[in-house]
Each structure stands twice: as structure tokens, then as C-alpha cells.
Structure 1
């Protein structure tokens, strides 16, 4: 029977609870420490009470009990010896049976590899970097939530004002900022002279010294204004105040910001080297650079200078970003009076080199802008070319490249559906910034996972791609090129001989960052719904598919940022995505999950799905290549399959980086094909003649005798496994990149009618998008996410690369037209047929 408490005691307990809650809200660190001390005291008192009770409690048995216990002890020891003898015999029999089983049974090819959370540098390109900075003891440590802090402070200030005290005691760095002395740099002076001479030539006043000096003064003043507008105002005071503000604001709309201690440890060790760190994040949100600065500052790593687009140079917000390290650059360097803007380029190059020489870390987004599709973008080479040139001309001894990837449960910036449907981007403004901040604070965006790759030496990477780079004379490095005047890349800074090195390293960085991007619950669920269950699925069946997907991702070392039962993961992801993207329905007492696959909802849902598309891109390429080949004989020629897969990779060269630049595409495709054969049983084992041919080829690699040189090569044959489960896998893989191929095919079909005219890029993209939407209504196009402005732009780039279209810039306008070809319509049709042959056919 439980007696009720007196009313006075109930009131006292209620008052105590309210007062305790108020204290916890006012000073959480003090209350946490107080509760820990109370818990410790309770444990000590409890343990001592039990010790006293055991010590003074009377024995229930007498001497006979002790004798009995002694007998039991002896009997127990005999039994133990017998058990040990029996267990030894059992062990011997078990080992013999296991050896027999190993000999008789075929080896299990479904091996699981130990998973590493440390994103190590490429062993092929940077072997020395790969073997350094790695602490195996931190490799498997638990993830750290940046919102949870442990304050080791004592005293009243440390207890009651812990967050303020934390920021005050944070590590302080010296920030050497640029000043007017940069204007005395030789390259800036030369650019002013060159600009002045070109202006004199245009005005045809070559002998007028007074006019020359006036123009030169105006150009010098412009150089000074450009430097003042561009340069960062990185301040320790602004960093500390902002860090306190971020720590209070981020938890309002984010559940957690997760980092791995082992990755942070590598960055901390790298920062002690004295070399500048070049942070190269993939760009998903405006929150990216704030989060990166927040993480580095709280781990005692010097925050970097951040290259930011001049569209963020807003009143108040722009100044705050400058104090956090932002330096503003133009997204497009427009020519002045039809000529290159030599002064702006010289100021930008000099400022970056000065910052590196002064010991600053640098951060810039190698993709240029935020991805609108969820897939990584192809790299831009402008700023990176300046950093490479800084190493080649001796400005810096070396630099450490740090690829970074961030992923969000739900994108804080909203969605990009308007832009993907062809509408122009809305420029940032003070009002739009305030509005987006308010909406963010009142929303729930789940968690953010930030992954740092192992820092790798830039000098080592350059040597890997161009071993003789140090022997290039300065005269060659400063050779002019004929690239676009709107980019730093390809101008006076970059030599033609070094372009391939810059491009290869940039692509390697994007590939590494893409591979290390963690998969969120929303990504996995959206991927399965769009590729396998577009018409809806029960939650139990979806959970089974998610289990299989998790196993595949674990095997390939892809990190998952979610744990627990798949049903719980699905419910969390569906709630996070919201009813505008995924709906829950009750059908005959069964819960059905159904994606919204109509426009524009499908475009937003595909953003999350596309996080996983690059991971399965080559699997999808192989499945589509199989589907395009003739299988009437029941076999597929291996060389035909390789040719089709390579051709498909060529078509999608602006969508994916299929392999590292230090690897060959053929070998990578073969590795993926072998994986599908052995893990998914894609093919039945090849016939005997093909096995003999493969044996001869392998033997010739180890045999110095050339007698077998005239033996004809026999291409291996693959027999497709017609098991329903295998065919289901092929169908699943095939669907992954089909929306892209549909967009490319319709783009090729649309430009056939443009063989005799020149058209603006905006009008051409609009015509293609309209054609896509019309064919979507007619069911000629199957996937609504095929309607994508970014994919259309990539298709047009491909047609220019293939030499079918020409692209010409007139100011800020871009024009497309056909090249001077003999039969334009026929060539356009051939291009359309080449792409269209990989579109759906019966499996």
C-alpha cells in the first residue's frame, strides 16, 4: 500500500523541481557538475553500507558448512579438471572438422572489410602523405557532437559564465592582414602599366605623356579600391563573438553537428607543420563556411581565409563575414572595354600569394558554386591555379590539401527547383537573408555530418602527375594562353604545360571528397524510393531494401550517418523530408510509403537521392551497357561490354568523375564488373575456351619465351544469369542514371532543328526544358527529374566537346550554333541515336 504525501510536502517538492529547473536553465554547467557530485556521493554511501552489512552480518552456518564448502571446493576442482580435458578433446575435434570444411568448401567471396573512419589520402599519388598523421588509436572513436562541451573550469566565472569564459580562453592566433604594400608588388605595377598602354592604344594618343600619367593614376587608384574591397578583415574579436553566437544559434534548428575525432586529430597535427592548409569543401549550403570556421576554431585550428562570391557582400552581413575571414571575389571577371581586366587578376593573385606567404590557411569551394542537383560539380580551376603557381614560383615551400565534405539531413537553404525548371536565380539581399535566417531558426533540419580527408602534400601530388615539374623554366610558366577572359585559369598565371596537372589534382580532390561524403537517412530513403519504389511500397519491404543497401554501402567503405533499425530510420527520414516529398498512406491495414514523383516535387527529392547516385554510377553504366548489347546467343562478348561501358562514360563525362585521375577507366570498369560477378552473381562462369584464353594471357605476363606470340586472342564471353533476383538487381542499377540519359537524348533531339541558326543559351535551354516536359506528358520521357537545367547545360558542353556545336560569348551573353559541317542534320541525328540506344529496352 502506497500512502499519499502530505499536501505541504507535495508543495515543497513542486517548488524544489521548479527551482531546480530554473537553475538548470540559468547555469547548465553548474547544475551538471552538482548532479554529478550528488550521484558520486550516493554511490559512495551505498557501497559503504553494503560493505558494513556484509562485514557484520552473522553467519547462517557453522563449522560443518565450512567443511562442506571445502568438500565442494575439492569436488568442484575435480569437475573442472574433467571439463578441461573434455573441452581439449572437443577443441581438437572442432579444429579437425574446421580444417576439413576449409579444404572441401569453396571460399566465401562475400567478405567484410574492416571499416575505417579516417579518410586517408591516395596511396598512388601521395604515398608519403598517406602514411603520415595517422593515429590508429583514434580511428574508431565515437563521433563528436559539436554542441556538447565539457567545461573543466572552476570558480564562479567558469561555472556561471562557462560559454563566455570558453570563448575568452580559446586559442589565439596572429592574423597578418594585407595592406597597401601589396600595391608595390611587381605584378600589380606591371598590370597597371599594361592596362594603361592598352587604353592609350585605344584612344590613339600615344605621344601624350600628360594623358598617359593621368590614366596611370586612375588605374593605380582603381587597384587600391579593388584591394580594399576584396581583402579580408579577419579578427580574433569577431571570431570569438561569432563563435558564442553560433553555439547558441545552431542548436535552434540543427540537432547536431558531427565530426570524427580521428579526422580532427589529423588536421591538428597538420597545422603544426607550419605549412598552409588549403581546405577544399564541396559546396551544398551557405552554412558550409560558417560551420567549417566554427569547427576549426573550437578545436584550436587556425580559421582560414574564405574565398566568397561578391554576391554575399551585403550591408552588415558582408562586414561580419569579412571579420570571419571572407575575401570577396568576382564570380565572372568581365572584360573592360573588350580587353582582359589585368588589374583585377593581378590584385587577386597577389593577395592570395601574400596570404599564403603570411601563414594564412585558405578555404575555397573548388566546385565554384553550390550544387543544384546534389551531385558534385566538375571543378573550377581559377583559384587553385594561383595556389599551384605559388608553389612553382617559390612563394611557398608546400601546401597541404584538405578535401572536406558536408552533408545535411535536410538542406537549410531550401530547394533549387525554380532554377532547375529554368527560372533565373534570385540574387541575395539583406531582406532575403533575414527572411531565410528566420525560417531556418523556426525549422528542424536534423543533423549535419562533416568529414575531413587526410591532408596531402600539394608538391607530392604535382610530382605524381608531372615528375619533371621542377625543371620547367619560369619563362614557360608565364606563357599566355587563349582561354576565356572571364576566368583566372588559362590566363597569364597558368602555363599550358601545367594545365593537365591542375585539372588532374582538382578532379582528384572532388573525387576524394565525394567518396567521403556521409550518407544521411534522407538520402538513402529518397534513393530507394526514386530508383525502386516510385509507385509506393510497404514500410516492411522498404526496410528490407534498406538493410540490403546498408550492407552494400558498408562493404564499399561508405560511411552511414544513421544507426538503428531500418524501420525507425525510414520513419525519421520520412518525417524529415515532409509530406511534400514523401507521403504515408494506410492501405488494408498496411502502411505504404509513396514518393511524390510529379514536378516540381521530384526535383527536390532527387537532390537527396543524388548523393548516392555517383556511388552507383559505374554499376548503372554496366547495367545499361548490358541492356544495349545483343544477347540473342545467350552470351555477351567482354570486349563489346567494355566498349559500350566506356562509350557511356564518355557521354556522361560532365556528370561524374568515374575514377581517380591516377587510375585508368578500363581497369576501374573491370573492377566494378568483377564485383558484380562475384557479389551479385551477375554472370554464369564463362566457357572453357575463354578460360583458356585468359590463362594464356596471364601466363604470357610471367613467361619470357615469345613462342606463343602468334596465339590469337579470344575475347571472354559472359553468360547473363537469368535468376529473377539478378534481373531485379540489373533493373535497379539501370534506373539510377536513366533520367540523365533521357535529358541528354531530348537535348540532342531538340538541337536538330537548330542547324541553320544561332540561338542564345537561355532560349536554347528553355526550348529543351519545354520539349522535356511535353514528352513527359506523352510518356516518351519516364522520369520527371529528367527536367533539369544543370543537366541540359552539361549536355550542351558535351556537344561542344564533341565538335558538333560552337559556343561564343558576346559580353554576358552566350550563343550556340552548329559548326561548319557538311551534313548537320545527319550528324545531329547520329548523335541522338548514339545516346538514345542506351535508353530503356526490355531486360
Structure 2
């Protein structure tokens, strides 16, 4: 962020309203390629964009150039497969409906239907059965054709995409006034990979994180400007509303349902479309997290579309494709205000045209900039083969080779070796979490995230301007030391960048004037937590260790009283790592290795002191003298990052304790969503009563993740309706009620909680809190309790319609599964 400090990051190219330009690099020029020496850099220079009010003639001239397709605007020879021509949609539709896999599935479904009807005695002769089979096949083909028509993108008009590009850039430039930034070296690498993929007729599969609707707009704009074939973008059909839906579909949107609900025709049709795109070498884009993150941090991967992509490779219908993880970061996200409403339990409003048009209020808001970063592309087939080989070498799961079919799947041919479904699942999960890790590695931290993080990790009410700048410089240094990236602004100094960030954050940060020094404070902590959460992944190991050490440090006394024995530390670190394996992506080297690295790093930073016994084994860990002298500011920083999540899990645990049935009720089920709503209501109450320190702890996503974690542990059992007509039900598992196991589990969370200013938790779950939980639970039982899984179920669903979904408890010292190793 200052020109004095060297950096290994590449210079940026700004997609700005005025022009595209190369930023001065922050490293000596001899270490970087000459930005004007490559064809790619030269082709990124464009004419000025102007506002109509400022220069109407230049503005109208620019529109004319776009409409006529002058120069790069023509988009005549993009790198990749040919798109935007009359008849493209019909050709793609034909390819999908002619899929051998789809035809085989429709024939199978028709045959199954006829067998059922035959069993009902509806056919008197074989001729009638054959005729009925043809009728059902025709009906299913018509259904598939209708699905395809509503699903596929329609790259038909080059004039349309030229105009769409111009409109989108104008809107983006007015909203994000500092432009869209990309790394020069990354886009050079991307273009070279695109050329290679195009020559081999292979697809680029963009897998971005998802925080805003701007994500897919910005990536389409970048691909257009760089001369790459636009990707087909997977989008939820909730965006397919009048006017907007057709616009998006002609710009590259592929609309799919949020849930397929066992619809085999729909599932097979989606698979056939994915096959058609990837086998034809068309670029593809889907969001690894599924929906938008409402909390700011990466969500767990969704495996729906990834599963289709993997099956295309495993079946041999697609030989290979290139995976490109993409990180999109914002100074300010348009939707954060709406996200807060959702997280606080206010029902989400369905997208519609009026809301879309009314969003024009965001234009000209000067919301800063967007930074898009591309991880180095890698071969999907190479990754899959390496994962399968790894399983074979480990010998943990039997594999019947070949798992990958090299010759392509014919009619009725299995797409995956069914003898090894565990291998397929393992490859799929590894793929999802590798992409998440790659996104984290290339993400840049924006100035607004730095400001939000500092403001939410201070003990005082506010912070002076000079101290804010100092702490931001400290945080920037720590991020870079951890291998992270911080967005730079040419030669602008830290103070200037902070001022810009405060301007973008606007009313989220308060300013107190008339004091000896300009002082800032967090006004809307809930919204600011969105930007803080964009940083936490870099320090997750340190936060877990700090929270584990806090169990002793909060007891006070002299340094000897605050020492933490290694085994005690290891136990709590293991527990917290397991607790948050659904929240964060942890390093994959194993608990002991990761803990050792983290302790060594904290000791090198002079935050802690590690003392070994005579055998060289770690005996205990304690705060360093230097850390005590500086008021524990580094240690507290790590604690402040994780405390809201610890408090959210504690809140969920206390709420579940309130759902222990009263004496005389042996088995009581409650609506799962109502139980989560009850936990949120309890949290709001406890926050205002002073028993919870962080209002962010009551957010819907954190509570939902905690309930999921408790289900995996076996603390709660969840029943789901097979038909989907009734809501999921839950109950507290009897084994956890007996002998105080649930109490002990909640206590284990509580000992790492932050003690309040006016609260000292002699007993982590006080009598008052338990009484509130009991009261809320009793009201829930009375309102909608279900005994034996029957009473209170809407529609009178019986037990036979419900299935129990229970995850096996995991051992504390074992592998943490899909989220990587603990800590």
C-alpha cells in the first residue's frame, strides 16, 4: 500500500470508466516483464469512457463504436470456441437431446413406468405394451425438450453482447468508481491457457467464490475485454424473472432449479447439457459455494454441479478440462444490508423486476473497487487420476479399475465404476476443498476489510486516526507474512488508502469530531463483521490456539498461573478444530503438525513462549514478556477474530439444552427450523441482557452450522420426510441427555468464550441462562412438539414417511474429514 515497500504481487490492470491502464509495479521493474512488451497488454488499452453530462459527443461516439464493433469491441475472434451466431441455441439443444446418456435414461424411465402399469394389469397383449412404451418415451422426450429450452444459454447475437458489455461497464463504473482490478501476470497466464485449451477443444471451468450478484457480471466483462470466449454461467432459476431473465440468458446464464428433488429426467438433462458444453470445449462457470455467502467468509463447497462435471470426466464423455479458481473481492458489497436482514431471521424476499430496478439507488455510490484474481489453471483429469492413485496407494478403499473410462460412455454404459462409490465421493470432496484452498491463496484483502477487522478487534470504544493507521500497517504486514495478499493502490500511502476505505464504508463507521484526535468507532458491527470475515481464514490456526490458551489466561494471576500445559492445550485445540470444521478451511497437514507450526510461528513473532522438558518435548506454553508489555494486543487480536463464532456455537448448545424434554416425555420431536429460530431469539435476548458479547453470534448461518455440527456429533437426531411435504424434525439424543454429557460438551465450548465486562462466568452456563432456555424450549414443545414422530405434523404424516438422518460421531483425535486436518 506504500511505494517504499517491495512486494512480489503483480501490477494491476484497471478496468475503469476512463481507460485500461497498467499500475506502476511495487517491485523493481527488472523483476517484472515489461507491461508493454506483450500482445496481451497492448490489446487491453481502450478509448476513454465518458459520462454523457461531461462530454455528450464523446459518449455518443463511444456508443457508436460499440454498436458497430470497432476494433476489440467487435469480439470477432475470441480465444475459444465460436459463439454468438444465429442458430447457436438450436445446435446446442440438438446436441443435448441427442445425448446417448440422456436417451438411455429416458428409455430406462419409460421401461420402468410400463413395468409398473403392466403389474397393474393394464395391458392385454405385448403389442399394447410396446405402444405404451413408445408413448411414454415420447412424453419424456417432450419434457426433456421443454427443460432444455428453459435451461440453456442463448449466445445468438453479437450486437446484443456488444451492447450488453457497454451497459454493464457503464453501470459497474458508476457503482464501483475505482474500477475492476486484475493481475497482469495472472491474465497473461490465463490467456495462454485459453489458447492451449482452444487448440485441444477443451473447456475453461471458472470456479469463483460468491459474495454478490456482481461476481458473474465482472467475470463476463473481464472475459469479453480480454478476448476470451464467454463462459456459460450456472444461475438459479430465481433470477429468471421477466426482462432480466432473458437478458441474462442471452448473456450466458444457464438457469437450473435450486433443488432437483429426485427428478431423474431433470438430472439427466442437466448432465447431458454439461456433457455437451465440456465435450465441445465451451467455457463454463459455476460458483463453488452454490449461493452467495452472507457472512463474508467462504462457505463449504456445494457438490451438485461439481458432481456433473466429475461424472463427465469419469465417464470418458469428456477427456479433460481446465479448472480455474477465481477470487472476487470488494471494497463494499452491494447486498450486505440485505444479508444482515436475512441473518437476523427476516425472510428473504424473492427476486423480482421491481427490486432489480429499484437497485438503481446503488448507482453513483462510489463503492470503491473490485479485485478479481485467477489461480493458476490446472488439469481436471490429472487431478482426478492423482486422487484415484492416492487412494490405491493408501489401500484404504478398494478400487476396481478402471474408474475412469477412457473410451467414452455408450448407451446404457455406467458413467462411474459402481464398485468404488466411496472413491468417487472422496475425489469429489477433494476437488471442492482444493478449489476453496486455491481461492483463499489468491484472494486479496481490501482496505475496507483491514479497517473492519481492526475496528472489531479493539477493546476500547474507538480508535484514533494515527493508531488506526498503525494497526492497519501491522495487520498488512501479518497478512503478507502469512502468504496472503493485500490490495495495493499504486503509490498511495496507508493514510490515504484508509481515508478512501472509510469513505466507502460510510455510515458503518462513526467519526467523533471535536476531540484532541480524530476518533473512529464501529457503528454497525454486524455489517462490519462481513468484511472482518474476509480476513479470518489467514489466521484460523492462530485463533484456535489463542482461544485454547485463553481458558487459562482469563483466570488471571501471575504468569505461572496462566501457563497452559501442552496436553491441555492440545485437547482444547483438537476440540475447537472439530467444532469448527464446518466453518473454516484448515491446513491439511494433520493436527500435531499444524499445532507445532502454529506454536513456532507465534513464538517467532514473540507472542508466546514455548518451554520444552529435558527430553525436548513441549511442556507448556505461555504469553511472552513482550506480549504482556504491549497489553496483549496481538494475542487479543486472534481471540477477537474467533470469539463471535465460539459464542454462536455456545448459544446453539445452550438452546439444545432447552430442548431436553421435561420429565414424563421420553421422545419429543420439534421442527428443526423452529428450534433454530428459538436459538436466535434466545441469542438476541441474552445479548441485550449482557450474557452474550457479540450480536454477530446470533446470525442464522452460524447457528445453522452449529446445529449441523451437533448432528454430526450425534447430539441431535434429525428426521426428514421422504416426500418433502413435512419440515425436518429434530430431538436431543437420549445418550447425550444421560450422565450430563451435553452439559460437559457445552462447558467445553464455554471455557473459551470471552468473559464480559460485567460478567465473570464462574459457571459457564448460569442458572439464569438455563432457565431462559428451558422457558423457550417449553413454549416450543407446547406450540409444536411431536411425540413419537406423529403428533403435530402438518398433513398427518406418519412415521413410515420419515427417515432418520444421523451422522456417525467422529473420534476426537482422528481425521477431520472434508475440511482438511484440524487446526
Secondary structure of 1:273's partner? Answer: helix
| Equivalence for 2:818 | none
Distance 2:726 2:284 in 1: 32
**Is residue 498 from structure 1 mapped to residue 414 from structure 2 by the alignment?**
no
| Equivalence for 2:454 | 528
Cα distance change on mapping 1:114 and 1:294 into 2, 3 Å: closer
Pick the aligned partner of 1:547 from 473, 498, 522: 473
In the TM superposition, 1:126-525 aligns within 5 A as 138=32, 149-150=45-46, 162-163=65-66, 164-166=69-71, 167-168=73-74, 170-172=76-78, 173-175=81-83, 177-199=91-113, 205=120, 207-208=122-123, 209=129, 211-235=132-156, 237=158, 238-255=160-177, 256-274=179-197, 275-334=202-261, 340-415=262-337, 416-436=339-359, 438-467=360-389, 473=400, 495-525=421-451
The answer on whether the counterparts of 1:754 and 1:817 sit within 8 Å (CA) in structure 2 is no
Distance 2:223 2:65 in 1: 20
Aligned-residue RMSD, C-alpha:
3.4
Distance 2:63 2:344 in 1: 52
Please state how far the C-alpha of 1:184 moved relative to its aligned partner. 3.5
| Equivalence for 1:605 | 528
Please state how far the C-alpha of 1:533 moved relative to its aligned partner. 5.0
Distance 2:529 2:420 in 1: 37
Secondary structure of 2:485's partner? Answer: coil
Pick the aligned partner of 1:745 from 641, 650, 670: 650
Secondary structure of 1:303's partner? Answer: coil
1:793-835 CA distances to partner (integer Å, 9 max, x unpaired)? 1001101111122223331654232365345263332321222
The answer on whether the counterparts of 1:806 and 1:817 sit within 8 Å (CA) in structure 2 is yes
Pick the aligned partner of 2:496 from 548, 561, 568: 568
1:78-99 CA distances to partner (integer Å, 9 max, x unpaired)? xxxxxxxxxxxxxxxxxxxxxx
The answer on whether the counterparts of 2:368 and 2:504 sit within 8 Å (CA) in structure 1 is yes
In the TM superposition, 1:660-809 aligns within 5 A as 661=588, 663-679=589-605, 681-684=606-609, 686-687=611-612, 690=613, 692-694=614-616, 714-722=617-625, 723-725=628-630, 727-756=632-661, 757-809=668-720
Cα distance change on mapping 1:314 and 1:307 into 2, 3 Å: same
Whose radius of gyration is greater, 1 or 2?
1
Cα distance change on mapping 1:655 and 1:773 into 2, 3 Å: same
Distance 2:452 2:650 in 1: 25
Please state how far the C-alpha of 1:165 moved relative to its aligned partner. 1.3
Distance 1:503 1:449 in 2: 28
Distance 2:446 2:111 in 1: 56
Distance 2:680 2:416 in 1: 32
The answer on whether the counterparts of 2:399 and 2:420 sit within 8 Å (CA) in structure 1 is no
The answer on whether the counterparts of 1:805 and 1:816 sit within 8 Å (CA) in structure 2 is no
Secondary structure of 2:370's partner? Answer: strand
Secondary structure of 2:323's partner? Answer: strand
Please state how far the C-alpha of 1:627 moved relative to its aligned partner. 1.5
Pick the aligned partner of 2:521 from 594, 599, 602: 594
Distance 1:246 1:494 in 2: 46
The answer on whether the counterparts of 2:672 and 2:730 sit within 8 Å (CA) in structure 1 is no
Cα distance change on mapping 1:433 and 1:158 into 2, 3 Å: closer
Please state how far the C-alpha of 1:200 moved relative to its aligned partner. 5.0
Please state how far the C-alpha of 1:457 moved relative to its aligned partner. 1.6
Larger mean CA deviation between 303-312 and 496-505 belongs to 496-505
Secondary structure of 2:329's partner? Answer: strand
The answer on whether the counterparts of 1:758 and 1:816 sit within 8 Å (CA) in structure 2 is yes
The answer on whether the counterparts of 1:385 and 1:493 sit within 8 Å (CA) in structure 2 is no
The answer on whether the counterparts of 2:152 and 2:255 sit within 8 Å (CA) in structure 1 is yes
Distance 1:183 1:170 in 2: 29
Cα distance change on mapping 1:113 and 1:539 into 2, 3 Å: closer
Secondary structure of 1:594's partner? Answer: strand
Distance 1:161 1:278 in 2: 33
Please state how far the C-alpha of 1:568 moved relative to its aligned partner. 2.5
Please state how far the C-alpha of 1:772 moved relative to its aligned partner. 0.3
| Equivalence for 1:104 | none
Distance 1:344 1:782 in 2: 47
The answer on whether the counterparts of 2:610 and 2:621 sit within 8 Å (CA) in structure 1 is yes
Secondary structure of 2:433's partner? Answer: helix
The answer on whether the counterparts of 2:235 and 2:255 sit within 8 Å (CA) in structure 1 is yes
Please state how far the C-alpha of 1:246 moved relative to its aligned partner. 2.3
Please state how far the C-alpha of 1:719 moved relative to its aligned partner. 4.1
Please state how far the C-alpha of 1:397 moved relative to its aligned partner. 2.3
Please state how far the C-alpha of 1:685 moved relative to its aligned partner. 5.3
Please state how far the C-alpha of 1:400 moved relative to its aligned partner. 1.3
Please state how far the C-alpha of 1:460 moved relative to its aligned partner. 2.6
| Equivalence for 2:767 | none
Larger mean CA deviation between 240-249 and 469-478 belongs to 469-478
Please state how far the C-alpha of 1:785 moved relative to its aligned partner. 1.3
Distance 1:186 1:502 in 2: 24
Please state how far the C-alpha of 1:254 moved relative to its aligned partner. 1.7
The answer on whether the counterparts of 1:386 and 1:493 sit within 8 Å (CA) in structure 2 is no
Please state how far the C-alpha of 1:777 moved relative to its aligned partner. 1.1
**Is residue 642 from structure 1 mapped to residue 570 from structure 2 by the alignment?**
yes
Larger mean CA deviation between 509-518 and 257-266 belongs to 509-518
Secondary structure of 1:277's partner? Answer: strand
Cα distance change on mapping 1:720 and 1:820 into 2, 3 Å: closer
Distance 2:586 2:308 in 1: 26
The answer on whether the counterparts of 1:141 and 1:262 sit within 8 Å (CA) in structure 2 is no
**Is residue 818 from structure 1 mapped to residue 738 from structure 2 by the alignment?**
no
The answer on whether the counterparts of 1:118 and 1:454 sit within 8 Å (CA) in structure 2 is no
Q: TM-score, normalised by structure 2?
A: 0.75
The answer on whether the counterparts of 1:357 and 1:396 sit within 8 Å (CA) in structure 2 is yes
Distance 1:636 1:682 in 2: 14
Secondary structure of 1:400's partner? Answer: strand
Distance 1:490 1:169 in 2: 39
Distance 2:431 2:400 in 1: 21
Q: How many residues align?
A: 668
Distance 1:159 1:305 in 2: 27
Secondary structure of 1:235's partner? Answer: coil
Please state how far the C-alpha of 1:684 moved relative to its aligned partner. 3.2
Distance 2:678 2:685 in 1: 11
Distance 1:149 1:181 in 2: 38
Distance 2:580 2:214 in 1: 30
Q: TM-score, normalised by structure 1?
A: 0.73
Secondary structure of 1:590's partner? Answer: coil
Cα distance change on mapping 1:813 and 1:745 into 2, 3 Å: farther
Q: Which runs of 5+ in 2 are unaligned?
A: 13-28, 49-57, 124-128, 393-397, 406-414, 554-558, 662-667, 762-823
Distance 1:221 1:493 in 2: 34
Distance 2:418 2:701 in 1: 30
The answer on whether the counterparts of 1:620 and 1:737 sit within 8 Å (CA) in structure 2 is yes
Q: Which runs of 5+ in 1 are unaligned?
A: 1-111, 120-134, 335-339, 479-488, 695-713
Distance 1:139 1:739 in 2: 44
The answer on whether the counterparts of 1:267 and 1:454 sit within 8 Å (CA) in structure 2 is yes
Please state how far the C-alpha of 1:181 moved relative to its aligned partner. 4.4
